[in-house]
Amino acid sequence: MIELNPHDNQGVRDILWTRLLELNRLDELEEYLEMYEGEYHSAFQMYSILLAAIKRNDDENIIIDLYKNALNANEHVPDYLTGKNKMPLIEPMYYSPGDRSEAVYYVLFAHDAWSDDEIAMEKLKELMK
């Protein structure tokens, strides 16, 4: 879909990034992230970059900076990912950038990419302190 519609007005990239993370295809993820580097940095993009850095075991200072950048995109994501906030029973019909609704959508798509990686989840909890 990205190849057919590289401007991706449908948001396919969000799903692609999280699936590549689930499969630990980090090199391929980097290629797709670079395609949208100059655009608005959504929660999907910023938390994907953060998770990739954790999976690559990047330098601690880099991970901390990426975490701060991700929080700037959407501060609600970590609480939903770690279960501190419960996911709503009804999925929102749409989302707004930076809003809880965006965090819910992100977690719906990216939960497995995070929760299947115990090290990443522990790192996220450590960063939240």
| Residue pLDDT, tens place only, 54-71 | 999 999 999 999 999 999
**How buried is 76 (Cβ within 10 angstroms: 0-12 exposed, 13-18 middle, 19+ buried)?**
buried
| Residue pLDDT, tens place only, 76-126 | 999 999 999 999 999 999 999 999 999 999 999 999 999 999 999 999 999
Q: Where are the alpha helices (DSSP H) in 1-129?
A: 12-22, 26-35, 43-55, 60-73, 77-81, 100-115, 118-127
Q: So where are the chain's domains? A: 12-127
Specify the pLDDT at position 108: 96
Inter-axis angle of helices 60-73 and 118-127, to 10 degrees? 70
Locus of tokens 């809003």 = 99
| Residue pLDDT, tens place only, 29-63 | 999 998 888 777 899 999 999 999 999 999 999 99
Locus of tokens 């929080």 = 71
**pLDDT grade for 4, boundaries at 50, 70 and 90:** confident
